[in-house]
Amino acid sequence: MPDHTIDLPGLLGARICHDLISPVGAIGNGIELLALSGNLDGPERDLVSDSTANANARLQLFRLVFGRIDATSELAYTAPQIGALLSAHFKDSDLEIDWRSETILNRALVQSILLTILCLETVIGRSGKIVVQNSLTGWQLSASAIRGLQSTELLHLLKGNQAWPKNLTPAQVQFPLARRAYCLTGLSPQAEVRGSQVSVTLMPTNTRAAANFEPSRRLLQDT
């Protein structure tokens, strides 16, 4: 019988990102060497250099977000590490991410939060502001749109077992992936929409998930 416990989408995403990071990085290094040697200068170099940096930033974030979800992983991420990933990814966009937490997080929780950010990015039309903050009882992500909201029906499908629309596009894949991540990490999302404001609160549903919201002394010792 086939093994349905294997996270094939996660493994596929991780494999693609892993294999692309090296050549993209090599292109960036090559551009730097050409610039140092004086063989490349001007707007062409800037265009290639900026495009390479953008591609690398996206791959770094996607490798974490779309990789295999492992609720038992001991990998930890600090606030500066998460902030650097987000800053690089959204550097040239009209979206501002305000990360208001210094908590060290395990990989599975980071994936859930980042997938939620990508969902909110779609809902507010990729422009506006997203504020991320936590307490001992949960995480709240609040977003404000500049040009109005879209795809709010997908936001309400993050909780529950309702079927996803058949016309779901590749640009919306983060929604079902987020719901799957919540199930695997023991989180319950609560979405609220008010005018041009939208928020998602992630609450732990079991003791193990609740431990992820406590001050991360264990993770500090493990890193």
Assign 114 a pLDDT band (cuts: 50, 70, 90).
Answer: very high
pLDDT digits (tens, 9 = 90+) for 138-184: 999 999 999 889 999 999 999 988 999 888 888 898 999 999 999 98
Query: Do 55 and 104 fall within a single domain?
Result: no
What's the domain range around 17? 8-65
Assign residue 167 the CATH number of its domain: 3.30.565.10
Average pLDDT over residues 189-201: 94
pLDDT digits (tens, 9 = 90+) for 58-98: 888 888 888 877 777 778 899 999 999 999 889 888 999 99
Query: Do 216 and 164 fall within a single domain?
Result: yes
Average pLDDT over residues 38-55: 71
Query: Do 112 and 169 fall within a single domain?
Result: yes
| Mean pLDDT of all residues belonging to the chain | 81
pLDDT above 90 (res 17): no
CA angle centred on 116, ends 115 and 117, rounded to 5°: 90
Assign 216 a pLDDT band (cuts: 50, 70, 90).
Answer: very low
Query: Do 188 and 80 fall within a single domain?
Result: yes
Q: What is the pLDDT of residue 1?
A: 37
Which pair of structure tokens corresponds to residue 60?
A: 């770094």
Q: What is the pLDDT of residue 7?
A: 60
Among 25-34, 114-123, 160-169, whose mean pLDDT is lowest? Answer: 25-34
Exposure pattern of 68-99 as b/e (b: 16+ CB <10 Å)? bbbbeeeebbbeeebeebbebbbeeeebebeb
Query: Do 206 and 108 fall within a single domain?
Result: yes
Percent of the chain with pLDDT over 70: 78
